[in-house]
Structure 1
Amino acid sequence: MTGRTELATVGTVHDEGSWLFTATDANGNDEEVILVPCADGVEAWVNRCTHEAQRLDRGFGAAIRDGQVICPKHGSMFDACSGYCDNGEAADTTLVPVDVAVEGGTVYLADRSYTFRREGGLDAGDGDDEGDGGPSSTSHIGF
């Protein structure tokens, strides 16, 4: 399959709840991207809340409930299939999409604006143990 990088299987994303990888964008910047289960397969979003650029998946899976990806800082909920948020601090915004394709149960990176780097987040395997990169939560939401 030319021009696309194999990422994961649809089954893996559905079983694990989300799947995190790092890609380089067209400007040479590394970005975290999450694959999330959707009724029709999977969708991919830049791993960043639209409100305060908080990581949705902090390296141990995105919090997802009832088809909604939940921001761990303020609790804004984004539809996993459309990326749209209709509540909380991020209301009326949409997550940044990353194009993927599903073929034969396998998910491929199809967005020509991104180049796959590795499975996992920006800090995966860099040997730096300073902090977990997560937000300092101001909410009382527990997951």
Structure 2
Amino acid sequence: MEDGTRIVDLEAVPENGSYLCTAEDPFTNETELVLVRCTEDPGVRAWINTCPHESQRLDTGDGAAIRNGEIVCPRHGSLFDACSGECDNGPAAGTTLPGVDVVVEDGAVHLADDRYAFLHEGGIDDDEPGSTSHLSL
């Protein structure tokens, strides 16, 4: 593996839920990724953290809802297969989550997709301070 591609230990990816992290593309656009467990090799998949139906975040910071091996969209309840990313029900039927290539090596998940560079654990805004507004309503 190349230096800087390690994301997290495999054991940190929950069996029922997701691991949220942020990567950037070659144009320095930050993108949230969710890592979810999958029954197929390598045992984990990475998806862009957005439902293709209405740009709803699947993991809003507390882990994506997973039911029977499917990722649940919190807005309309569409179910995406955790291994293939495909949806065959609800408003997102016929769509597929955009995937990001990862590999598992030496007990850790590594980013293997040359379209992205790993930035940090958590979402895009997780490292920014809260509002500094002094307005009161």
- Please give the TM-score of this superposition, normalised by the length of structure 2: 0.89
Separation of aligned partners in 1, 2:53 and 2:18: 21
The CA deviation string for residues 26-83 of structure 1, in whole angstroms up to 9 with x for no partner, is: 2321000000000131000000001000000001100111000000000000000000
- 8 Å Cα contact 1:56-1:62 kept in structure 2: yes
Alignment map for 1:56-67 (pairs within 5 Å): 56-67=58-69
Instruction: Report the counterpart of residue 134 of structure 1 in structure 2.
Output: none
- What's the secondary structure of 1:11's corresponding residue? helix
Instruction: Report the counterpart of residue 119 of structure 1 in structure 2.
Output: 121
Identity %: 53
Separation of aligned partners in 2, 1:53 and 1:27: 20
- 8 Å Cα contact 1:18-1:34 kept in structure 2: yes
* 2:120 aligned partner, one-letter code: R
Structure ID, larger Rg: 2
Structure 1: stretches of 5+ with no match in the other structure: 131-143
* 1:107 aligned partner, one-letter code: V
- What's the secondary structure of 2:21's corresponding residue? strand
* 1:124 aligned partner, one-letter code: D
Classify 1:3/1:67 alpha carbon distance in 2 versus 1 (closer, same or farther; 3 Å).
Answer: same
Q: RMSD value over aligned CA atoms?
A: 1.6
2:111 corresponds to 1:94: no
* 1:38 aligned partner, one-letter code: C
Separation of aligned partners in 2, 1:16 and 1:87: 21
- Please give the TM-score of this superposition, normalised by the length of structure 1: 0.85
Separation of aligned partners in 2, 1:22 and 1:76: 23
2:51 alignment partner, one of 30, 49, 52: 49
Instruction: Report the counterpart of residue 35 of structure 1 in structure 2.
Output: 35
How many residues are paired up? 130
- What's the secondary structure of 1:82's corresponding residue? coil
Classify 1:82/1:4 alpha carbon distance in 2 versus 1 (closer, same or farther; 3 Å).
Answer: farther
Q: How big is the shift at 1:107?
A: 0.5
Q: How big is the shift at 1:5?
A: 1.1
